[in-house]
Amino acid sequence: MRRPTQDYPQVSLRPEDLNGRIDFVAVFGKAGPVHVEIGTGRASFLLNQAKNYPEINFLGIEWASRYYRFAVDRVGRWNVANTKIIRTEAAAFLAEFIADESVDCFHIYFPDPWPKSRHHKRRFFSETNLNQMMRCLKKGGRLQAATDHAEYFGQIQKLIEGRSDLQIVAFVPAAGAQQGEVVGSNFERKYIKDSKKTHTIAAQKSVSTPALQ
């Protein structure tokens, strides 16, 4: 019988408790770089990163209730103090609650590809959402993405490479990644088992503002 999950108030961040743009120092109780993972899943990536980089504050965003509960329980049991997880819709959350130039890195790993053409509008990666992430990123901040879906990767790559304020850089594998992995998540291990290729991309926000034409 599966052990019931527990809520850990020191881990779970609730949208109803927020009012306007987030003060990350107040939320985490300490200053430090802020990394945001969109689509936390079971928190494999988030937990390993947080344990290996205690100086960084990690915020995980997850919409699926069962994954959110599992992630909060998992992080709470490990007593990882530099991690918060919120259950919310990522695009709206970024637009309403994340302040300009307040995030050091966005991690988006294996987002739902919505493979049917009529559902492509539901994909997280879009020009609108990329604009929001760019607004939130600090100058010199990074964006890292991975997917097993080749067509979706092509869309992501086109969006990122089409921006003059983003420079493609080397993808940095996760702390929990084992041999042959880049993220070390449950999703990635499932796809590797199914012989699916993982496509990755990383980009850095320019430290200077492009001149107006």
What is the reported pLDDT for 210?
52
Domain ranges of the chain: 31-205
DSSP assignment of 140-156: EEEEEEEES-HHHHHHH
pTM beyond 0.95: the answer is no
Q: What is the pLDDT averaged over residues 61-85? A: 96
d(CA 117, CA 9): 40
d(CA 123, CA 129): 10
Q: Give the pLDDT band (50/70/90) at residue 115.
A: confident
Query: What are 142-161's pLDDT values in tens digits?
Result: 999 999 999 999 999 999 99
From the candidates 23, 73, 100, 112, which is the catalytic residue? 112
Query: What are 121-134's pLDDT values in tens digits?
Result: 999 999 999 999 99
What is the reported pLDDT for 189?
80
What is the reported pLDDT for 212?
43
Q: Is the pLDDT of residue 99 over 70?
A: yes
Mean pLDDT computed over every residue of the chain: 92
Q: Give the pLDDT band (50/70/90) at residue 170.
A: very high
**What is the CATH number assigned to the segment(s) 31-205?**
3.40.50.150
7 carries an active-site annotation: no
Q: Is the pLDDT of residue 200 over 80?
A: yes
Strands of the sheet with 83-87, listed across from one edge: 12-13, 83-87, 57-62, 34-38, 103-109, 137-147, 199-205, 166-169
Q: What percent of the chain has pLDDT over 90?
A: 79
Q: Is the pLDDT of residue 3 over 80?
A: no
